[in-house]
Structures are given as structure tokens and as C-alpha cells.
Amino acid sequence: MGYKLKTAVVGLGVIGKVHLKVLEKLEKNVVAVCDTDLKKLEQFSNIKGYTDYEQMLDVEKPNVVHLCTPHYLHAQMIITALNRDINVLCEKPLCITREEIALVLEAEKRSKGKLGVCHQNRFNPENLYLKEYLKDKTVLGAHGNVVWRRDANYYNKADWRGTLKGEGGGTLINQALHTLDLMQWFFGMPKSVVANCVNQTLKDTIEVEDTAFLNCSGGAVDFSFFATNGGAISFPVGVMVKTKEETISVQPNKVLVGDRLINFDNGCEFFGKSCYGRGHEGLIANFYDCIKDGSDFEINGEEGAKVIKIILSAYESNGQKVEV
Ligand SMILES: NC(=O)c1ccc[n+]([C@@H]2O[C@H](COP(=O)([O-])OP(=O)(O)OC[C@H]3O[C@@H](n4cnc5c(N)ncnc54)[C@H](O)[C@@H]3O)[C@@H](O)[C@H]2O)c1
């Protein structure tokens, strides 16, 4: 494609603004934005605005649409855009039920458009380093950790948060999804999971879990995973790996291999909160490169569905071993 692709963005909340900043930096051609909230649209009055995303897709005929809306809308918006052969970059999670996974993957197969899922932490330098470093290592086991604090103030900001219908779950399907996705990316898709998911600190605020502990086994490497939104304060996420030779610890921007520290703090720009990482720019640039040269985008529907299958299995587990 020799011409400049036309881009549209749906959802102008916290992360939609991050996408727009990155699109501006990458000099993409944003032709329209959409939000049902007129106040959000007013903040982008320099771009043509819509309140109905289907109308926007039909009138503007964008080549690419970024979906930055609440979880429960992802599947229907992805399918609507793919049915029009539009390339779709959807924020995580891909979707929130097994039925939706099947429908989204069918639509992806039928469409001439590509589907990409925003698992931007795969583009963070420390995670790319670990992925490469482990290639020729024998890994004995691993653990992932997400200890964050999200209180009533956070959940009260939008009515979809903290509800089964709107969010599809709690800490696992929202805050911890990125790190759990990295675990399966590094260590392979588990065959089974045993999990306990509880609401430990936010019983008056949310109907979904704020804390979960998973044992994932049967993949290339067994791993455990702990995630909570009920920490005393938020800590950097972490992944620990034991190989035959050494213990490796990964945190945002650094990897400790034995007692050797590798620092990736190279001063590149954050577009949102630091806990989102720096990966949005790399992921979005790569998605557009793939559209232009017709190559596969790695984090497609099937890839985005993997972590959702682990999470839905964890929700079904209730302390029992379940197949993923
Ligand atoms: N990748 C990341 O690190 C990251 C970080 C934050 C959020 N997210 C994801 O991004 C998505 C949005 O999260 P957020 O925090 O920006 O939420 P938000 O509530 O701040 O924003 C959502 C926006 O969507 C709009 N919206 C709702 N229904 C709509 C509709 N039918 N048509 C058009 N617009 C509609 C809302 O008015 C709101 O402005 C979620 O899936 C979330 O998990 C990802």
C-alpha cells in the first residue's frame, strides 16, 4: 500500500488517549474518533468525532481501527470491524468468554483485515531479552507476581469496572493479564491450571476477584502466578525463573541473571502510566508495518486468546485441577 492508511480510534478514556499520543508521534493519519461520551469527544474537537462506531466505520471507511473500549464491547466491535475487512488493533483483553473467543477467531479467519491485540509488554526490552536469553536454556520452573493497589476510587471511575458483565472478571483479566500473558509467552501454554480466586480487600466495591493464585502445569515449563489488586501499595511486576545454571529475576527495565544486573533504562518515552510499560509505541508501529508489508502480526486473535483461556480456566477451577 503506497498511500497513508486511514486510522480511527474508538474509546477516548485512559488508554484511548495513550493510543492517540503514540499515533501522533508515529505520524499516522487519524481521520476520526468515537466515544459515546460527548465530553470525551470535545477533548479531540480537532478530529472528526462520532458517537456511533458503526456509523464511523461506514462513513470514514478507515483502514485501521483501534478499539480502546470496556472489555464487554471488544468482541462485538472486533467482529463488526473485521466483517468490513478493516484492520483491528484491540486493547486487551481480546474478549471475556469462550463463546466470544470462537466468534472472534471465526471473524478473523473470514476477514481480509488483520486482528492485533495490545499485549504491549511483549515489546518491553527486559521481556524481549528474557525471551531470547532462555532460548538455549533448560528452565526448571518460574513464578510471576503482580502486587498492585486498586481501591474504591479507581473502581468508581467507570461503571464497567469490577463487574462480571462489564469487565469479565477482576485482577486477572485486567491488571494481571499482561504478566500472565508473558508467562505463557516465555514458558508455553499450560495444559491444566489449579487456581483460587478471591475477593480479599474490595468486598464492598467489586463483585469479582481482587486476588488470585494459579499453578499452571503441563506446558513447556510449570509456573505459579500470584496477582492481587489488594496490595498495601503497588509494586513493580516481576517474573522469576530458575534455570539449571542460575536464578533470573525480571522487573520493568531490568533483568538480574545470577548476580549480573542488565539495565534497560535507556530514557525512552512513556506515553501513559509507567505501569503500562513502554511497549505501546513498538507494538503499534509493528502492527502498521505488518499491514503495509502484508506480513503476520504476531499477537493475533489466536495468540490473544491464549491468556484468556488460562484466565477463564482459573475462574472455573475453584481449587480443582481443570484443563485449559
Ligand atoms: N494495555 C494497557 O496497558 C491498558 C491500560 C489501561 C487500559 N487498558 C484497556 O483499555 C480498555 C479501556 O480501558 P480504559 O481504562 O481506557 O477505560 P475508560 O473507561 O477510561 O475508557 C473507555 C472509553 O470507552 C468509551 N465507550 C464506552 N462505550 C462505548 C461505545 N459503545 N462506543 C464508543 N465509546 C465507548 C467510554 O465513554 C470511555 O471514554 C480496557 O479494555 C482496558 O483493559 C489497557
- Structural domains in the chain, CATH included, are 6-120 (3.40.50.720), 121-260+300-323 (3.30.360.10)
One-letter amino acid of 31: V
* Mutation pick for ligand 1 pocket among 9, 10, 12, 14 (CB with most ligand atoms within 8 Å): 14
* pLDDT for 271: 54
* pLDDT for 279: 86
Nearest Cα neighbor of 208 from 306, 309, 315 is 315
Residue 272 clears pLDDT 80, i.e. is over it: no
Mean pLDDT of 19-47: 97
Q: Which atom of ligand 1 is nearest to the CA of 160?
A: 19
Distance, CA of 137 to CA of 116 (rounded, Å) = 30
Q: Using pLDDT thresholds of 50, 70 and 90, give the confidence band for residue 265.
A: confident
Between the CA of residue 24 and those of 81, 151, 261, what are the distances in Å? Answer: 22, 32, 35
* pLDDT for 163: 97
Query: Which residue matches cell numbers 470462537?
Result: 102
Mean pLDDT of 22-33: 97
Residues 179-210 have pLDDT tens digits of 999 999 999 999 999 999 999 999 999 999 99
Indicate the range of 1-5, 11-15, 78-82, 313-317 predicted with least confidence.
1-5
Q: Using pLDDT thresholds of 50, 70 and 90, give the confidence band for residue 28.
A: very high
Half-sphere exposure of 223 (CA within 13 A, CB side): 28
| Residues 255, 248 contacting (CB under 8 angstroms) | yes
- Mean pLDDT score of the chain: 95
Strand order in the sheet with 260-263: 260-263, 254-257, 247-251, 238-243, 139-147, 223-228, 211-217, 192-198, 322-323
Closest Cα to atom 36 of ligand 1: 11
Distance, CA of 32 to CA of 41 (rounded, Å) = 10
Q: Which grid cell is 215? A: 499453578
* pLDDT for 273: 58
Q: Using pLDDT thresholds of 50, 70 and 90, give the confidence band for residue 87.
A: very high
Helices 14-25, 279-293: crossing angle, 10 deg rounding = 60
Ligand 1 midpoint to CA 116 (Å): 16
What pTM does this model have?
0.96
Nearest Cα neighbor of 68 from 284, 264, 269, 217 is 284
The rounded percent of the chain whose pLDDT value lies above 70 is 95
Nearest Cα neighbor of 217 from 236, 194, 235 is 194
Residue 266 clears pLDDT 90, i.e. is over it: no
Indicate the range of 14-28, 186-200, 273-287 predicted with least confidence.
273-287
* pLDDT for 71: 98
Q: Which grid cell is 174? A: 485486567
Q: Using pLDDT thresholds of 50, 70 and 90, give the confidence band for residue 135.
A: very high
Q: What is the CB < 6 Å shell around ligand 1?
A: 10-16, 34-37, 40, 53, 68-71, 73, 91-92, 118, 120, 158, 174, 276
Judging by beta carbons within 10 Å of its beta carbon (0-12, 13-18, 19+), is residue 256 exposed, middle or buried?
middle
